[in-house]
Structure 1
């Protein structure tokens, strides 16, 4: 087994390395080993930003000139202000010519300062051979052409005696649109940036040169200078334009070789990355540099180029990060078949590699406050999704590839001769229909067990017509049945159960709890009580099941949704003695309750909380997947939701009270696997809560992207794809496990999946409420509610429908306004639509719950005729107080 584990590790490590190598396979464009003609230069670094008055020092500019000297012949600048007035002087020290630029816009006073400083610098520094009056001024529509022409004429006049060439920089199409502008300049300064025009990287150089030729043909007597040409290394995809280090290297090295052959006059856009530009041009605006913002080169000009040249280190880091979890898994799950261990080890490696890739992308990202906020929101979601994937992948591995079940408990034979301990069966009831409760009592009267009592605790029911018939029926059933009506009684169901404990016969050894609607099988007690012969067994649990779902599509679907928990989740938890106790069909050792304390009246899931305390108190549990009782399903979607809300809210209450029990430590009795199952069992519910937060944030973020695109950017695809992938993986896993463990049809599996999705919002809401509140009133699951009209379906799912509609509209808006240019915008729209699916599922299930139903053909499991004892007036059992 040890050698097979090492083989699994070896195979997964090899495949991981192969995957990293494939994703980062290098390209080798034509090499470039000569000096570039020119680069565009903006001096800002890191967090420097002219809008915040953070300017580079002269020492920093000089460091840049030292770096560029010998690499380029000349530089082109954009402004005479914002700390850039000394660039020409410093460049001259290193033999660099300067095409000095000015920035013109609608700020007339600032324009005047730019022009005056330009003229003075051009007359002062001999290395300024050409000047540019404005940059893309007409493209941005910052001023009419006649005003720009006036500025150009003024500069030409003031520099006429210096023989300095004067022009303005615009994109190629502006020059074609305004031929009168060409008559005012000494040369044509064009920008060729095929990325912004959505060109594919392999065709971008050819496209740029065709536009160059088009402008040159339009101005045959003028020299055409390419004052901006380049490709970004990161940012959003724009139609076919993919920014990356390899596409940038291929574009630049390809263009430089052609430009050298043709003798073109050009300036590469740009020398250094400018992080401050992302709020002007979007994320891509920060990544046009040949060098990073820290002045390190992005790629070599000779030899192969990779998007992640450090991928071997990243691959090694992903293996080392995964190794402890892999070793833990192999040590704990040595009983899994080879294919199961390989599957989960590979899943661990995929998740850790994805995490390393995300972190690496973050480290390469220039973080603006908005981007930092986006990462702060999305990274926790991603981590939780990864944990959910691993937890569900482990469950899948155990179900499919376990060699055998370690703790498989079958019912005992009921015909054995032995001493049977006394059992007290407690039935808490509040405002329950009398006829329903009578059926429950009838089933208990048919138990094939002699030494037991039944306590019905009706708490706080106000209508005497509801509880009086039950009281009378208990008298008819005999002295084993006792009825208590208690009002007022605090503590909800837990309060009723604690009242029952105080009124239990002294000689009772085992406490049984069932819901008021449950019909138990006659062999329930004899089949399970013998497990208490083991002195360390604290409780024995049988599954819940239902009998009223046939001929009712809504109840059929939710019945099979429940079944998944009892036939998959509980079975796997039982393997590690970590089951969740639930408040019906449970048998608890009385001394165990006395050891850990009574039912928790502060918690609305007192059953699960009791089970946790019993396990933490050193007791053990037994779970059998044999059904011994059947109850009623909720009649409506609102009842179904309120029940699940109570379970989820109670889970948070338990976590907040018992979080220390989930931490490792010798002073606690939960073992590591029990802690694992309690944590991972609730993790998908927290994922639903975070998903709801993400959905609401997505709506707000989409509005920001559409209304204020300069300040809001779409999340990276690395964040978006896992959201969609996990959604699909959870659905596939759900259907796969159901097919193996739950004996239902494909239609019923799909219906169960629909029911589970429909609860996503309810669970998320309950988890969030639970995190921020400490007490919520007990929410009773309604029984036998009247059928609702279709309009009631809309009311029952109104919050979900509103959220779903908003997500769909936001996706449509994103697709229509940005999807044509940006594949990532289309991906974001798809993510929005995918997020709406669980909320639409709520409406579908609510509508199904209101659909007309044929008459029921089977109201309950077939059982013997109820046994009703003659009316006997007797005192309460000895040692118990009379009501």
Structure 2
């Protein structure tokens, strides 16, 4: 007997065990792992390289001061102690001789403590719509001025007109009233953005100096232009508009974290660049200003958005975010993170390189780099939250989502391993081809079992004709028709079997339990005693004449329990729906089955398969407790210690599902049955035992892509809920940080790229067929997710026959098969429209009102655009299902 040449180069022999590694491969693997680990550290260094920034070793003219610590704030009524304020002012005295406050009621001890350190105070009053509080603020301000001679300036209100808390006349009345009650030495102003001073120029007549709040960040000016164009430009313009009036820059700053405002990007490096450049420029021009602000104020996030917490030059922990001299590093802790990531990846990289040195060098390098990237991503993701002020709700969400992040990284590695092995293997360790038996070789007796349920008789007869033409002597064909009700469906098949002769026997079982497995188990009871091999073929398959002759020789090896050929299809070339599904199926048999076959871990599927009869019967026959009895049998035979050989040679062709309903139903059944097997055989797959590590790996991870579909459904629901929250309750729901979104987008892109790449290399179809196959695959996501969840929840499932043809009197509505997908797609479209501000636009158009608050601004941020991208990506599977259903409807067969 000889093995025919394969498309892929084979290694020596057919052993499923890799050859022992030499000492040379040990050192090569070790050197490669160390080099990639060092390259990882170098990459972290490049990404965190220091930046040159103008230095400043003098004092800052003034700093805005809110004394609240990490978990304090006026919103929760927790205020700092005298000791905490004293420590703050002692620290600030090393940086400045002036501070600015915002309220005279809250923390009234600040001016007296500031005097202790020689700090002068611009005392503020916070005016809003509460009349009594405003009166209390004014009284407290006047009392503070009387008791503290280090107060030399006051601000009556802070951005009061900007917030529209009161009108111009009311604010002016407060200003005039305060001026009348304070001594002449005290200069009086109010603080507003520049546009308010331009809108109300008479406001300048009621103040001693103009306090302006120009914010390049909020004006979407990039940091590199923020000082020159943003600040100095505004200052010069206000000087020309209010000649002879002193201009005080009451707040000037840049956030170190938070939401990106288009081209204005918050970061520690940008804050340092901005502040150091500004104080140097302001000193040279002798400008009066207050840096906003001294310490980060996490409590502001609830009223100003995420960025509101990160304006301090010190963190809420009172540690400086950056130095005013020397180089600036965005993340000073990066060396520790880089080393941890390198050490975390070192052993897995060495293990992979050591055991898979037989791959081409590009593959070994690629996957080791992917391991290192995954470790770096894990370390970065785990430490990223430490750079932000997260609420208990945020931490809860992170704790819930972190396992999903781990699942994404694990899926990335699993898909990457398949990509590496299939694309860059030098030879298959277990490559099996067709056999050319000699004339003297004995033919084992084969019993071919064909289970049918309500199948069109002409389709079954075509299969029987192909079996009758087999170039083989020792076989029989058992047609087991179970639970077909109508005589006109099963009777013609029975009559045709009688015409074909004694090799063909027909059995009609009605009623009969156990679905297909029950029918096949009955077939075992009536199988010819001479049979050594049981072959199973679906009722729609036309088999090649040499199917048995070319493959039964593998059973000469007593270790071989199963010989499996791929599913393949016919009559699809001129039908758009059958064509796209044909190529979708083909991908698994050209890629995934080869990958699994390397570790004797193939999925046995229920057609074009041959099983050693005695093993089938002795290990428990076909399992009737799962609707995927074929895959369960394969796992059971592996557990018993036998080999399953995959021969990638098309030995028979059947029909693809007739329409999208049948297509979805089949994949739902596979997903449901997979979960039954996972639950029923969990101990086999998680405990060291008869199954090898490679077999456990493939059976646990082979369904990961289906679990990803289930997670996709969950995250789509969460994304819709979160989007609704951002639109309806923006004070509680914020846009996710872009740093958290990028890895998800990267995962989507990586998975799409390697999937298409592998398809183009392994599947012999053009670009159009590749794209349509991808649409078909993605369109099954919702059905698979339902199968996963219901399979995990329910014990028993209904075996629904996959219709291969339909007899329809009229063309059905294409969306009948995808009602749920259509609803999900519409919901996502509305969510995206909401992100663009559609609710506010509609309300404005109908009622003439202002746009809904908290909607139109979402797309102003890069995070908003990224969130829309995520929503659009989540819509792709549902859109794919709609496309698949429409293609199926257009391609549908119509006969009387």
TM-score if structure 2 supplies the norm length?
A: 0.90
Q: Distance in 2 between matches of 1:729 and 1:45?
A: 42
Residues 436, 53 of structure 1: alpha-carbon distance in 2 compared, 3 angstrom cutoff: same
Residues 565-609 of structure 1 deviation map (CA, whole Å, 9 limit, x = unaligned): 111110111011110111111222233234432322222212112
Residues 46, 599 of structure 1: alpha-carbon distance in 2 compared, 3 angstrom cutoff: farther
Residues 467, 367 of structure 1: alpha-carbon distance in 2 compared, 3 angstrom cutoff: same
Aligned residue pair count: 852
2:810–2:894 contact (8 Å) kept in structure 1: no
Verify: 1:22 aligned to 2:46, yes or no. yes
Q: Distance in 2 between matches of 1:711 and 1:274?
A: 17
Residues 689, 465 of structure 1: alpha-carbon distance in 2 compared, 3 angstrom cutoff: same
**CA shift for structure 1 position 245:** 0.8
Q: How does 1:57-76 map to 2 (within 5 A)?
A: 57-76=81-100
Q: Distance in 1 between matches of 2:32 and 2:302?
A: 47
Aligned to 1:176: 198
Aligned to 2:70: 46
Residues 47-73 of structure 1 deviation map (CA, whole Å, 9 limit, x = unaligned): 323222232222222222232222221
2:37–2:345 contact (8 Å) kept in structure 1: no
Please identify, of 357-366 and 286-295, the stretch whose mean Cα deviation from structure 2 is larger.
357-366
Residues 540-579 of structure 1 deviation map (CA, whole Å, 9 limit, x = unaligned): 2111111221221221221111111111110111011110
**CA shift for structure 1 position 415:** 4.3
Q: How does 1:477-626 map to 2 (within 5 A)?
A: 477-626=500-649
2:437–2:553 contact (8 Å) kept in structure 1: no
Q: Distance in 2 between matches of 1:489 and 1:529?
A: 31
1:370–1:711 contact (8 Å) kept in structure 2: no
Q: Distance in 1 between matches of 2:114 and 2:31?
A: 61
Verify: 1:844 aligned to 2:868, yes or no. no
**CA shift for structure 1 position 791:** 6.2
Residues 791, 107 of structure 1: alpha-carbon distance in 2 compared, 3 angstrom cutoff: farther
Aligned to 1:822: 861
Residues 21-70 of structure 1 deviation map (CA, whole Å, 9 limit, x = unaligned): 22222212111112222211112222323222232222222222232222
Q: Distance in 1 between matches of 2:70 and 2:799?
A: 55
Aligned to 2:792: 771
Residues 70-92 of structure 1 deviation map (CA, whole Å, 9 limit, x = unaligned): 2221221222345x122223323
2:494–2:506 contact (8 Å) kept in structure 1: yes
Give the SS at the match of 1:227. strand
Verify: 1:795 aligned to 2:809, yes or no. no
Aligned to 1:476: 499
**CA shift for structure 1 position 289:** 0.6
The correspondence for 1:323, drawn from 338, 343, 346, is 346
Residues 268-324 of structure 1 deviation map (CA, whole Å, 9 limit, x = unaligned): 111111112112111111110101111111111101102122222222222112223
Verify: 1:248 aligned to 2:248, yes or no. no
1:429–1:516 contact (8 Å) kept in structure 2: yes
**CA RMSD of superposed structures (Å):** 2.5
**CA shift for structure 1 position 233:** 0.6
**CA shift for structure 1 position 380:** 4.0
Verify: 1:700 aligned to 2:721, yes or no. yes
The correspondence for 2:763, drawn from 742, 764, 767, is 742
**CA shift for structure 1 position 802:** 3.6
Q: How does 1:153-302 map to 2 (within 5 A)?
A: 153-160=176-183, 163-206=185-228, 207-302=230-325
**CA shift for structure 1 position 253:** 0.4
Please identify, of 5-14 and 609-618, the stretch whose mean Cα deviation from structure 2 is larger.
5-14
Residues 758, 392 of structure 1: alpha-carbon distance in 2 compared, 3 angstrom cutoff: same
Residues 646, 418 of structure 1: alpha-carbon distance in 2 compared, 3 angstrom cutoff: same
Q: Distance in 1 between matches of 2:597 and 2:137?
A: 77
Give the SS at the match of 1:142. coil
Residues 316-347 of structure 1 deviation map (CA, whole Å, 9 limit, x = unaligned): 22211222321221132121111111111122
Give the SS at the match of 1:132. strand
Residues 808-838 of structure 1 deviation map (CA, whole Å, 9 limit, x = unaligned): 4433443463466323322322332233233
The correspondence for 2:777, drawn from 747, 753, 756, is 756
2:806–2:893 contact (8 Å) kept in structure 1: no
Give the unaligned 5+ runs of structure 1.
857-883
2:463–2:540 contact (8 Å) kept in structure 1: yes
Residues 820, 560 of structure 1: alpha-carbon distance in 2 compared, 3 angstrom cutoff: closer
Q: Distance in 1 between matches of 2:439 and 2:132?
A: 103
**CA shift for structure 1 position 637:** 1.6
Q: How does 1:99-498 map to 2 (within 5 A)?
A: 99-160=122-183, 163-206=185-228, 207-369=230-392, 371-372=394-395, 375-376=398-399, 378-498=401-521
2:735–2:864 contact (8 Å) kept in structure 1: yes
2:809–2:894 contact (8 Å) kept in structure 1: no
Q: Distance in 1 between matches of 2:677 and 2:119?
A: 70
Give the SS at the match of 2:702. helix
1:815–1:825 contact (8 Å) kept in structure 2: no
Q: Distance in 2 between matches of 1:623 and 1:353?
A: 37
Q: Distance in 2 between matches of 1:530 and 1:325?
A: 40
Give the SS at the match of 1:421. coil
Residues 510-556 of structure 1 deviation map (CA, whole Å, 9 limit, x = unaligned): 22222121222232223222222222222221111112212212212
Residues 609-664 of structure 1 deviation map (CA, whole Å, 9 limit, x = unaligned): 2212221232221111112221111111221111111112222222233333332x
Q: Distance in 2 between matches of 1:819 and 1:642?
A: 40
Q: Distance in 2 between matches of 1:331 and 1:771?
A: 38
Verify: 1:781 aligned to 2:797, yes or no. no
Q: Distance in 2 between matches of 1:767 and 1:578?
A: 21
Aligned to 2:19: none
Please identify, of 782-791 and 13-22, the stretch whose mean Cα deviation from structure 2 is larger.
782-791
Residues 61, 599 of structure 1: alpha-carbon distance in 2 compared, 3 angstrom cutoff: farther
Residues 735-754 of structure 1 deviation map (CA, whole Å, 9 limit, x = unaligned): 32223222233333333223
Q: Distance in 2 between matches of 1:467 and 1:477?
A: 16
Residues 354-384 of structure 1 deviation map (CA, whole Å, 9 limit, x = unaligned): 3333333222121135544654565444433
Residues 54, 503 of structure 1: alpha-carbon distance in 2 compared, 3 angstrom cutoff: farther
Residues 783-815 of structure 1 deviation map (CA, whole Å, 9 limit, x = unaligned): 211469776223333433343344344334434
Q: How does 1:685-724 map to 2 (within 5 A)?
A: 685-724=706-745
2:659–2:892 contact (8 Å) kept in structure 1: no
Please identify, of 566-575 and 732-741, the stretch whose mean Cα deviation from structure 2 is larger.
732-741
1:427–1:514 contact (8 Å) kept in structure 2: yes
2:835–2:859 contact (8 Å) kept in structure 1: no
Q: Distance in 2 between matches of 1:21 and 1:138?
A: 47
Q: Distance in 2 between matches of 1:345 and 1:433?
A: 52
1:382–1:719 contact (8 Å) kept in structure 2: no
**CA shift for structure 1 position 854:** 10
2:726–2:735 contact (8 Å) kept in structure 1: yes
Residues 728-782 of structure 1 deviation map (CA, whole Å, 9 limit, x = unaligned): 3333323322232222333333332232222223223322333344333222211
**CA shift for structure 1 position 720:** 2.6
Give the unaligned 5+ runs of structure 2.
1-24, 838-855
Q: Distance in 2 between matches of 1:31 and 1:788?
A: 82
Residues 243-270 of structure 1 deviation map (CA, whole Å, 9 limit, x = unaligned): 1111100110011112222332221111
Q: Distance in 1 between matches of 2:480 and 2:330?
A: 70
Give the SS at the match of 1:196. coil
Q: Distance in 2 between matches of 1:544 and 1:64?
A: 73
Aligned to 2:26: 2
Residues 260, 692 of structure 1: alpha-carbon distance in 2 compared, 3 angstrom cutoff: same
